[in-house]
Structure 1
Amino acid sequence: MSSEAQQASDSSDVQNLEFYLQHSEEQEAVLGGVQDVLPGQFKRIAAGKSSLDVLGVRSGGGKMDAHMLTLLQSAFPAVPITADIVEGRSQLTDNFKALIAKTPNLQKIPFVWHSMSSEDYEKQVKAKGDVKKFDFIHMIQMLYFVDNLANSIKFFHSLLNNNGMLMIVIETAHDGWDTLWKTYSKELCGDSISEYRSSAEVITCLKSQGLKYEEYDVPNTFDITECFNPASETGQRILNYMTAKDDFSQFSTPETRAGILDLLKNKCSVKKGDRVMFKAKMSCIIVHA
C-alpha cells in the first residue's frame, strides 16, 4: 500500500472509530467502570515514590488518558508525573495534543510521543536496551490489534516498576462482541484484526505467565436499532465499525449480511422497548508487577 493509500485508510478508520465512540458512549462506560477501581490502585502504586511514570499504549485521542492522569494528579498533587504515549495514528495524536492545549493541568505533565504501533515500540525499546520503567501502563481496547498476544503482555508487563500495574480493558468473553466475532471470524478477521480476542484469551495468557491479576466488570450497552434500517446512514456506519469493513452493504454475500444482522438482533443484544441494545460489557483487568 502506498503512503497516500495508507493515510486515506487510516483517516477512514479514525472517522469510523470517532463516529462509533460518539454513538456508543463506550469511553464514558470505561471511565465510569474504572472510577472506583483506580484511586485505590493509584494509592498502592505510588506508595513511597517521588515520581510517577505513565505509559499509554494506543491511546487514541487521549480522552481516557486525560481523565486518568487528572485522577493521578489529584491524588498526588506534589508528585511529578511523566506520560509516554504510543499511538501510530497521527490524526489521533494531533487530537490528543489539542486536548492537552486546552487542559491546564495536563500542561504540567511532560509528554513523550512515540508515533508507532505497540509492536514497533517494543522493537525500538529492545534495540536501544535503555529501558524506561513505568508505574502505570494502560492498554485500553487495543489487544485485538497485536500479532502475538502473549508476547505483548509479557513485554509490557516487563516494563513495570516495583508495585506498578498494567491495566487492560477488553471486551468480555461470551458477550455481544465475542459472539459476533467468533461466530463470523472467517468473514470478519482480516487486515486490522487478524485474530479476535476477548477477556478469556487475555486471562489464559496471564495464568500461563503466572501473573497476579484482578478482573472487574465494566457494564455497557449501546443502541444498534438503526443498523436494521438499510436506509439509515447512521446504522450503516455503525455496522462498518462493528465488522471492521469499509462498507458493510458491499461486504461478503447477502446471506452472510443477513446472518450477521440476525445474530446481532437475537444473540448479541437485548430489547429495551422498541430499541435493540447491543451487549457490550467489558472487562478491566489489573495486572500487578
Structure 2
Amino acid sequence: MAGYQGVYMQRFQNYLDRSGEHMVIQKLIDTVLPPELTNLAAGKTDFSVLGVGSGGGEMDVYLLSILQSVLPSIPISVEVVEPSADLTQNFKALVSGSSSLQDISFSWNTVTCAEYEKQVRSKEAVKFDLIHMIQMLYYVDDPAATLKFFHGLLKEKGKLLIIHEAANSGWEILWKTFKKDLCTNTLSDYLSAGDIKVQLDALGLRYEELVVRNTLDITDCFTEGNKDGQMLLDFMTDREDFHSSFSIEVRTSMLELLKNECSTTTDGRVLFNCSLSALLVHA
C-alpha cells in the first residue's frame, strides 16, 4: 500500500507473521491448482506461466513447486511482472538459492501492469497456460480493463488464478465504511473479491471460487500505547501513524467498527476477519 520499503515492509511482515496469510494462500493454491494442472498439461510439450505483481516471489516459488511436482517432465517458462526493483531482486535471490528452480526459464519485467500492457501491445503477444494475480488488483487504475487484458493473454483452456481479500471480510467493511478517510493515500478505491466477481460477470467470464476463512488477533490494537497494536493499526489503515492521522472521532469510530463489525471476540481475544478468496477464471 504505502510502498514496499522501509517501515512499511516491517509492518507488512508483522501482518504476514501474525495472520499466517502466506499459509492461507498456500492452502488455496494446494486446493485449486493441482486438479486443474493435469488437464491443462494434457498434450503439451511445454508450460508457460505469467506472474502479475509477484512481489518478493515467495508465493510464486511455492506455486512453481506445485507445478513441477504435477508436471515433472514438462519444461516450464515463467514471465514475471513486478514494478519494485527491490522485490524483484528478492525473487531472483530465491530462484538462485533453489536448485529445483534452475530448470525453469525466467523472464523479468520490472514494470507496472500498465507499462507491461504497452510493451505487449507493441509486439506479437505471448500467450500463457497459467496467469496468476495474488493480492495485487488493488494497485491498478482500472481493474476491469486489467482483467480483460490479462484474460486475453490466456492460451486455449488456460486459467487465470486470482487470490484476493474475500467479500464481506473485515478489510472490506473497514475500507468501504471509511472510504473517504482511508482511500486518500496509496489507494483511491477499495476492491474485494466480491467486486472482482461483479467485473468477471460483466465480462461474461466463467470462474469458480474458493474462500478460506482466516483471522488475525488484533486485541493489542485496543490497548493504548501497545506498540504491536500501533503497528497493526498503521498497516491496516495505510498510515504512518494511526493516532495522528485521524481525528479522535474517526479513530474512535474505526476502533468500534474493527471490534464489533470486522471481528469476532473469543475468550477475550478480538479476531479480525481477514479471509481470502481464490477465483479460478477459465479462458
TM-score by length of 2: 0.95
1:1-289 to 2 correspondences below 5 Å: 10-126=5-121, 128-289=122-283
> Tell me, what secondary structure is at the counterpart of 1:36?
helix
Q: CA offset at residue 10 of structure 1?
A: 4.0
RMSD of equivalent CA atoms:
1.6
Contact persistence 1:39–1:75 (CA under 8 A):
yes
In structure 2, relative to structure 1, the CA distance for the partners of 1:9 and 1:93 (3 Å cut) is closer
TM-score by length of 1: 0.93
Q: CA offset at residue 9 of structure 1?
A: 7.2
Q: CA offset at residue 76 of structure 1?
A: 0.9
CA distance in 2 between partners of 1:162 and 1:217 (Å): 26
Q: CA offset at residue 222 of structure 1?
A: 1.1
CA distance in 2 between partners of 1:200 and 1:178 (Å): 9
* One-letter amino acid of the counterpart of residue 83, structure 2: G
Contact persistence 2:185–2:238 (CA under 8 A):
no
In structure 2, relative to structure 1, the CA distance for the partners of 1:64 and 1:145 (3 Å cut) is same
For each residue in 1:50-107, what CA deviation from the matched residue of structure 2 results, as whole angstroms up to 9, or x when unmatched? 1111111111111111111010011111100011111112222122122222221112
CA distance in 1 between partners of 2:162 and 2:155 (Å): 17
Contact persistence 2:32–2:280 (CA under 8 A):
no
* One-letter amino acid of the counterpart of residue 174, structure 1: N
CA distance in 1 between partners of 2:280 and 2:171 (Å): 21
Contact persistence 1:140–1:168 (CA under 8 A):
yes
* One-letter amino acid of the counterpart of residue 283, structure 1: S
For each residue in 1:209-259, what CA deviation from the matched residue of structure 2 results, as whole angstroms up to 9, or x when unmatched? 111111111221111111112322221111111111122121121111111
CA distance in 1 between partners of 2:3 and 2:50 (Å): 28
Aligned residue pair count: 282
> Tell me, what secondary structure is at the counterpart of 2:186?
coil
For each residue in 1:16-65, what CA deviation from the matched residue of structure 2 results, as whole angstroms up to 9, or x when unmatched? 32222122211111111231211011112212111111111111111111
- Bigger mean CA deviation after superposition, 217-226 or 148-157: 217-226
* One-letter amino acid of the counterpart of residue 147, structure 1: D
Contact persistence 1:10–1:89 (CA under 8 A):
no
CA distance in 1 between partners of 2:221 and 2:145 (Å): 36
CA distance in 1 between partners of 2:146 and 2:9 (Å): 23
Percent identity for Structure 1 against Structure 2: 43
* One-letter amino acid of the counterpart of residue 32, structure 1: K
